[in-house]
Structures are given as C-alpha cells and as structure tokens.
Structure 1
Amino acid sequence: MASRTEPFQTLRQLAGAASLALLGLVAAAPAMAQPAYPQQAVKWIVPFPAGGGTDVVARLLAQSMADAVGQPIVIDNKPGAGTMIGGDAIAKARPDGYTVGTVDVSTVALAPSLYSKVPYRSDSDFSYIGGTTRFPFVLVVRPNLPVNTLGELLALARQKPGELKYASPGAGGPNHLGMELLQRKVNIKLIHVPYRGDAPALQDLMGGQIDMYLVNTAASLPYIRSGKLRPIALSMARRSSALPDVPTFAEAGVPGFEAYAWQGLAAPASTPPQVVSRLNAELNKALASPAIAARLSEMGVEPLPTSPAEFARLVAEQSAQWSTVIREAGVRLEN
C-alpha cells in the first residue's frame, strides 16, 4: 500500500526544484544583463612619440579594431624612460578593458634586468592580449668597408680586435644586446658607439664614422635599396620578404643567433578574460587584413599574431634569454 506521505513528499520535491530553478535565474540575471563590450571609447597607450614606426602600427591596428567593435580606440602617446612611462601607465590603469597599450621587448623583457627600479612587474602586472609586430634586424656595413659577407666581416674583426665600431640607437636596447650576444658567440671584440635613435647612427654609418649597425629593416630599407648601405646578414630564423636576397646568420655560418624587436598589446592585470579574448580576436583579424599586411610589408615589419598565452610565453622566454646576456655583458642603466 502506498504511503500517505508520498503525495506531500512529491509536492515538497517539486517546490524545492522550482526554488532552485528560480535561484539559478536570479543568479544568472546580472551576467545576462551585462552590456556587450565595449560600451565606450578604448584608450591605447603607445610608449613612443607620435609619428614613429610603433605609433604608425598602433594607429593602423586601432582603426581596424575600432571599426570592428563599433567604438573609437584612441591613441595616447606616453614616451620616455625606455618605454617604462607607458608601461607603468598600462599596468596601473583600471582593469576594465578600456585601457590597453603597446608593450615591446624593452618594456617587459629588458627593463627588469637593465634597471634597478622598474615600476611594474612584467610577469604579474599585465594581461597579455597578443603579439602585434616583429621588427627584423639586419647587420649592415658602411659602403667602403672591404667586406661582402658575414664570414669576411668576422675575419676582419678578428684581424683588428677592438678596432671596428658598431652603432646602436641607445644603450641597453635589443640592437646593442644583440651585438653583445654576437661578440660572445663568435669570439670577437668590437667597440660600441651608442646614438640617440636610428637617424644619427645611420648618417654616421653612411659617412664612414662607424663600421656596422644591427638595425631594424624599417629604418634601413631605403638606404639598402639605394645602395648607400650593404646588408650582410639578417638576424632572424628565416629570410625577410623585404630583403629576400639577404641570408640569415645561420645561412651565413652563425647558427642559433637571433635578435629582433617585437611588440604586442597588453592590458592591466585582472582585465576580464572575455575582454582579453575579444581584443585578441579583433587584433588578429586586423593583422590578417590584406591592406594592413601590405602596409606593414612596405615598412619592413612583420605581423606577429598570437594567442594571449603564446604572447605571454614569448615575454617569459625573451626575458630569460636577454637577462643572461645583460648579466654576462655587465650592462646596467640608471633610471
């Protein structure tokens, strides 16, 4: 015989289930009510002055992404302190997705090892969104230096230890550290001559005051194409479409040597993951745009599309690599 309490138990079970369902709806309501991102303009911090290569790339990408998300993306240039002023502004912004910014190899991979005081931690103060661009480096020599290949240049450097001079656009940058790495790798001794940017270094190189320069292709392409500078080798894993006839260091006899500048997009730590994912998706779409790809190619710059995890891994790997070079070379900079 069925128990008299069974109907009441069934009613209680149904009531309990209905209460749980109602609680679930109430809990889900705030999430369902969240407005789609973005609802206002997004600020993109660029740690370099307006008009330079980094600024041009940021504006190209920002315009394409703004068209896709339906809100303006406004460039805010904050140069200075080896890109640390801009990096600090990104790290200390509210993590709501409305402040992002360009970080580069100097901002997050070199500065922590070069300076005693860095106002942020590259391993914990950023939400990395994705890579943007890679600036290949090419080793160029003055037109009257009697070498045509990397082998000939290294032979000359060994014949004249401590006599040949190389330029950099500033101490502690990837150009300088790349040449420090090269000297250790092939056992040569060169003299470092730091300049304030690419332009004066290139002028002195063409004028014969210095002998060589590991320089980004964006700055050097016009002079290479006009015959004013002689390219020797590209410090990348593969050849550049901008300089298809120039061998890599590996092809020229120095395997395992790579040095280049790279950049990416970051937000403050604790930016919502769904915002990071949306921005990464739109960033990679922009980088895949034929118009942007063509413009980057004209500049001698390569797109660097990644996932957020891949870009974070690049930052960590490059930090480890260059910290070793900085320590062994004894390079330290004052804030």
Structure 2
Amino acid sequence: MSHPRIHRRAALARIAAGSAAIAAFPGHLLAQGTWPERPITLISPFGGAVDVLARLIASHLGRRLGQNLIVELKLGGSGTIGMAAVARAQPDGYTIGMGTTTSLTSAPHLIRNPGYDVEKSFTYLGLIQTSRQVLTVSPRLGVDTLKDFIALAQAKPGTLNFGSSGVGNSIHLAVEQFNSAAGIKAVHVPYKTGNETDAAMMAGDVQYTVASLATSLPLIQAGRIKALAVTGEGRDAALPHVPNLMESGLAARIPEQLFGMVAPAGMPPAVTAKLLAAVADMQADPAFQESVRRGGGQPSLVHGEAFRKLSLADSQTWGELIKRLGITLNS
C-alpha cells in the first residue's frame, strides 16, 4: 500500500504554518510559550521494534524540542493499556505515545472497553514508519510460487495451520485477509511472539504466516523459511525476486503495519502546533530516515490529519473483517 509523501520543503512549509498557528493564538502563546519546560514522557505500548523506534524518536525529537523525552513502557491488552494512558493524560503536551496498527486499528474492535476512542481521544502527530509484510511458508511444503501454495491449500481445506503472534493482532488479521481473498480455509495457531511463530514454522507445526519483512528477512535469506509474495506496490529492494500479491494474481489489500505518534486530544493550539512542526521536521530529516531504514522500516512523511485518516481507514478495513469472520479474543 502506498502512502502520501511530502518533500523536505513541504515539511518546512508545515513548520512555517505551525508558526503561523502559534501567532494566531496570542493568549495560548503567553501561557504556553515556554513549553516544554520539563521532560516529556513518550509511552510505548509494546516492546521490541516499537520500543526501539520510540527510543530513536526520543533522541531526535528531544533535540528539536530542547527537552529530554523519557520512554515509558506500558504493556498489555494488545497495546490498549498504553494507548489508554495517553488518552487519559493531561492534554498539556507532556505525555505523548506511540500508536501502532494493532492498538489503533484492530484491538479496539476486539476489546469492549479499550479506554479510548480512536476518532476522538487523540491528536495524531505523524506516521513515522511503515513495515512491509511478506507471506512466508515452510520449505517442507515444497511450493515455490503463490499460485502453487494457494492450489495446495485449496485442495486440502482445513488441514494447513497458520501462525500469528496473537488473536486479533495485525499479523492474524493480515493472514485472515489473505485467506479470504484466496479462498483458503486453514487453522489459526496463535503464539506469544513472532519469533515463536517462525520457530513453529521451521519445525513444521504451522505451514505459513504473514509477517514483517524486516524481522523475517534473515530467516528468508538463510533458507529457513520461504517468501512467496510481499504486500504493497512494486517489489522490495531486499527481496527483488519476490513478486507482490497483485503480480502473483491475488487482488488482496493487506494494509502495511503502521508505527506512528499520537498525543491526547484537546491540547492548547500553540503546543499542538509546536509538536506537529517538530515531528514534521524530524520525519523530513535524511539522517532520521536512514536510521529508520537501518531498523528495517520504511520512513513515512504522512503527517497530522493525513495520519488520522489513514488510521481510521485501516480501522474500518480490520473492523469489517473481524465482524465478517466473527473473530473474538477466544478465536
């Protein structure tokens, strides 16, 4: 899936617009002109790749704001515990958070009272990176193309297992979206982590999954698992020989994994403008973008309201799938 891109010049224009917004609210400027006066807490609702990205952001954004950003892990509830903490925080700019595909677009459809409303509870600051996904299978299956795999799975309905790192997370839903488009019936085997899923596939306990390309790449390159197709448009430079789903003849839209930043709704306009300007400048920084790439992500320049619209669109996609397939946390 492609995302809108802006150039550094456009990002700097946003900074100028932010300055204009500050000037338009002199009362708030008087009250908030020295913000931030103390360290800012950046809540990460997940460990692993999300926590690593949060610490990268803390370094780069802190320099732009002239304050330390302290990363605080609040784990659990498929990311909803951390997101609820952001939503409940005082809207003064001193608590912000990492928003991800699972916590913003799928978990709220599975957890009755997540503690926030994705449309109303947050100020969307920016989509920092996306992660392309890849359909991988066990080499034991003996298939080399997506067409061959689909034919095999269709010929044996309900006999293949697919793994994910938990019910209702972005990986589980991506495979269900793929299964639906391909006409495949298979058994879901949830694990706690992606590493456990990979280990199960190598052991032959599950036969396939959809996973982050960045985390699967070493195993693909080592021949431990086999890549059949990538999500999104075009091919990925890391796997130039692997076609995308559309090339392989499957018209399935599987949203990429999103890693972004949010803040509580209702912040003073001057604080919001300063935060948005600093995030936009960080996104447009070539050095920051290169750090994101080294971490296995694709840097994004989707900003503010555009990030909000993208998150809500993906939320609708996953919400409809969850409802149509009757997925629950006990599935």
- Relative to the length of structure 2, the TM-score reads 0.87
Q: Which residue is equivalent to 1:311? A: 307
Given residue 187 of structure 2, which amino acid in structure 1 is its aligned partner?
A: I
CA distance in 2, matches of 1:29, 1:292: 34
After superposition, what is the alpha-carbon deviation per residue over 1:256-275, rounded to whole angstroms, capped at 9, x for unaligned? 42233112111111012332
Match of 2:225 among 223, 229, 242: 229
Deviation at 1:133, TM superposition (A): 1.5
Give the 5 Å matches for 1:198-217.
198-217=194-213
Give the 5 Å matches for 1:312-327.
312-327=308-323
Deviation at 1:33, TM superposition (A): 6.5
Match of 1:53 among 49, 52, 57: 49
Q: Structure 2 vs 1, CA of residues 224 and 284 (structure 1 numbering), >3 Å: closer, same or farther? A: farther
CA distance in 2, matches of 1:75, 1:271: 20
CA distance in 1, matches of 2:306, 2:84: 22
Determine if the alignment matches structure 1 residue 280 to structure 2 residue 276.
yes
Match of 2:79 among 59, 77, 83: 83
Q: Which residue is equivalent to 1:22? A: none
Any unmatched runs of 5+ in structure 2?
Answer: 1-24
Q: Which residue is equivalent to 1:17? A: none
- Contact 1:175–1:259 (CA under 8 A) maintained in structure 2: no
CA distance in 2, matches of 1:228, 1:29: 61
Determine if the alignment matches structure 1 residue 131 to structure 2 residue 127.
yes
Match of 1:37 among 11, 20, 35: 35
After superposition, what is the alpha-carbon deviation per residue over 1:121-168, rounded to whole angstroms, capped at 9, x for unaligned? 111111111111112110111122211111111011111111111110
- Contact 2:164–2:190 (CA under 8 A) maintained in structure 1: yes
Q: Structure 2 vs 1, CA of residues 311 and 187 (structure 1 numbering), >3 Å: closer, same or farther? A: same
Deviation at 1:297, TM superposition (A): 2.1
- Contact 1:103–1:266 (CA under 8 A) maintained in structure 2: yes
The two structures, once aligned, show a CA RMSD in angstroms of 1.9
CA distance in 1, matches of 2:272, 2:28: 20
Instruction: Report the secondary structure of 1:144's partner residue.
Output: helix
Q: Structure 2 vs 1, CA of residues 299 and 143 (structure 1 numbering), >3 Å: closer, same or farther? A: farther
Any unmatched runs of 5+ in structure 1?
Answer: 1-26
Given residue 324 of structure 2, which amino acid in structure 1 is its aligned partner?
A: E
Determine if the alignment matches structure 1 residue 64 to structure 2 residue 40.
no
- Contact 1:242–1:300 (CA under 8 A) maintained in structure 2: no
CA distance in 1, matches of 2:136, 2:29: 56
Instruction: Percent identity, please.
Output: 33
CA distance in 1, matches of 2:26, 2:125: 27
Count of aligned pairs between the two proteins: 306
